Amino acid sequence: MKRLLTLLAALALCASAYSQVPAPLELTPSEGTPNLTREISRKIGGKAFAKKTANLPAFAREQAYQLIVTPKGYKIEANTQQGYFYALQTLKQMQTCGTVYDYPRFQYRGFMMDISRHFRDKDFILKQLEALASLKINQFHMHLTDDAGWRIQIDKYPLLTRQAAWRVGETWQDWCDKGRQYSQEGAPEARGGYLTKADIREILDRAAQLHINVIPEIEMPGHSREVVFAYPEVGCREGSYELCPGKEATFELLEGILEEVIELFPSPYIHVGGDEADKSHWKECPDCQARMKAEGLANVEELQSYLIKRIERFINAHGRQLLGWDEILEGGLSPNATVMSWRGTQGGLEAIQQGHDAVMTPGRYCYLDKVQDAPIYEPEGFGGFLSLDVAHSYEPLEGMPEGAEMHLLGVQGNLWAERIPTDEHYEYMMYPRIAAIAEVGWSQPSRKEGFRPRVTRWNDALIAAGYHAFDLHKEYGERPAFKNGIRHKAVGKKVTYNHLWNRGYPAAREATFTDGLGGGWSYGDGRWQGFLSDIDVVIDLETEQDIHFVGGTFMEEPGPGIFLPKSVEIWLSADGENFEQVAVIPNEIQKHGQSYVLFGTPLTARARFVRFVAHPTRGFHFLDEIVVN
């Protein structure tokens, strides 16, 4: 509670009439100096407000409130204690008199914290709950288990915390480099940790006071290397790290774990992961093959679906709902499951079309492990670039069919921790971008204007309250080539491809390299064209002319497998048939990391046709524009 009071006091100091984050539905300023310390009246469950909100969806009625701030004090009306609590969060961000009438757009507004890759303790989690509550976030998704460490006490299976919670290696990357070895609790080399049931209960108690539901995630059948290490009888065979759906021992273990999780967490949702399972071992496992034959399953996708459906029946029998990543759609969706759509929005759309609920968390807008500013100046991220403004621009209902809001529960920001070893770095990646996700979930699109000054004031207050947030005053911003474009002789000219781009990263197709539009900091922004083969293209300048420079900028980002080319060749021709090689530009960059490197050369030549060839080293290579001057 002390942390929340400190945070709210800081918010009040930075507030103005229009500084609320998330933005309220209606705010009508009035004259006078506000008195924020004296509560004149409080009506919870009154008939008048119930009548005013009668036509709202049930979840909005529960969270709606009216706040009136005057020179004499403030008045609050709400249907529930939750609505009253949200009124207080808005109150602490006001510095003028006025009336606020407000309720959320979506019922689910979440944040996922990954404590497996790098363990976060109880105190750190409690601190983040205070900030999330100030943003009216109401779902806290705890990624408790993954290959890198099991993080929750399970009495029935003590080896999960005695062994699987501890590893060799200070950081996740150290652990990977050292062969993904586990350790024993108390061993000198052991690094990691776990939350005891007492820790969890304290977190749950505080979350309940803040009107935040805590959703536990127990990964299955993939991301379970640590479980198979502790209890190898639930794996297929040596060398496989997925749980074996062919063995009854697997279901006995999962149900035993879930019984304790369900007893501990009051959440209506239990998240079971279901993503990125390597199913190749199942094709060779005699137990899996026997299960497939007995159940009439056509393929390993249906085998995973069998596991998820069976677990769902167990969860439903205990009065809870199954929540999983969008891979649970593969092989047939469980009857009552809710889908969390992370691989874009398609998974959520498919779930909604099948009559299931969905939570939208597409990586392009909601993955906060991406760097938030110029990667050349930022700590290492994972998987690209996501600015505050892009996160705030997300519209969950875009591309959805009419009536989709009946099943689109809301949105969630996710912060995976592979590249985030310290608590300070975690907060730096979390704030202020989670504020953008919060506003997407709470505020109507028409009320989202003026976000940048509002969130800057909110973020300044957060820093003043002791959080290690990214400082918006020091933001570098987008890549200049993205913002300003690139002028050169080849803009608008025809490009002939000898090898086509990878279909997943077409950018502007044939126009990409001569549209005058440079790429941004992210390979997924629609400006960068991706290749797994040679880039080999010919640009027709239409007339023969003097050429003084040819070059193109490539990006490197090892996390998702993007690397600079081995070399680039420049060829020139007058007729488009007879080409002369005029330059070979080798890759002289030794250190791999996120970077943007120009492969270009000065020239003194005349030509009509320019051939640009780039040879890959490994993985993808991405190019945004071929500049000819």
Which secondary-structure segment (H or E) carries 628? strand 621-628
The candidate with the shortest Cα–Cα distance to 443, out of 60, 64, 24, is: 24
Other beta carbons less than 10 A from residue 31's beta carbon: 9
373 labelled catalytic: no
| Active-site hit among 123, 233, 252, 276 | 276
- CA–CA distance, 7 with 91 (Å, rounded to integer): 13
Q: How far apart are the first and last CA of the chain?
A: 62
Round to whole Å and give the CA distance between 128 and 123. Answer: 9
**Which one is catalytic: 223, 281, 392, 621?**
223
Rounded CA separation 40/34 (Å):
12
Query: Under 8 Å CB-to-CB from 154, ≥6 apart: which residues?
Result: 160, 161, 256, 257, 260, 261
Residues 6 or more apart in contact with residue 141 via CB below 8 angstroms: 110, 111, 112, 113, 215, 217, 271, 412, 414
Q: Which of 9, 7, 24, 18 is nearest to 87 (CA)?
A: 24
Q: What is the CA radius of gyration of the chain?
A: 27
* Measured CA distances, 431 to 119, 121, 341, 391, 458 (Å): 19, 19, 22, 12, 10
The one-letter amino acid at 478: E
Tokens of 414: 């996710």
Q: How far apart are CA 62 and CA 45, in angstroms?
A: 10
Active site residue 468: no
Sole residue written with tokens 């004149």: 40
- Which is nearest to 106 in space by CA: 141, 66, 59? 59
Question: Which of 62, 130, 146, 373 is the catalytic position?
Answer: 146
Among this protein's residues, is 276 annotated catalytic? Answer: yes
Is the CB of residue 359 less than 8 Å from the CB of residue 348? yes
Q: What's at 127, amino acid-wise?
A: K
**What are φ and ψ of residue 104, in 5° steps?**
-80, 155
For residue 51, give every residue at least 6 positions away whose Cβ sits within 8 Å of its Cβ, in sequence order, or none. none
293 vs 374: CA distance, rounded Å = 53
Query: Distance (Å, rounded) from C-alpha 495 to C-alpha 24?
Result: 50
Residues forming the active site? 146, 223, 276
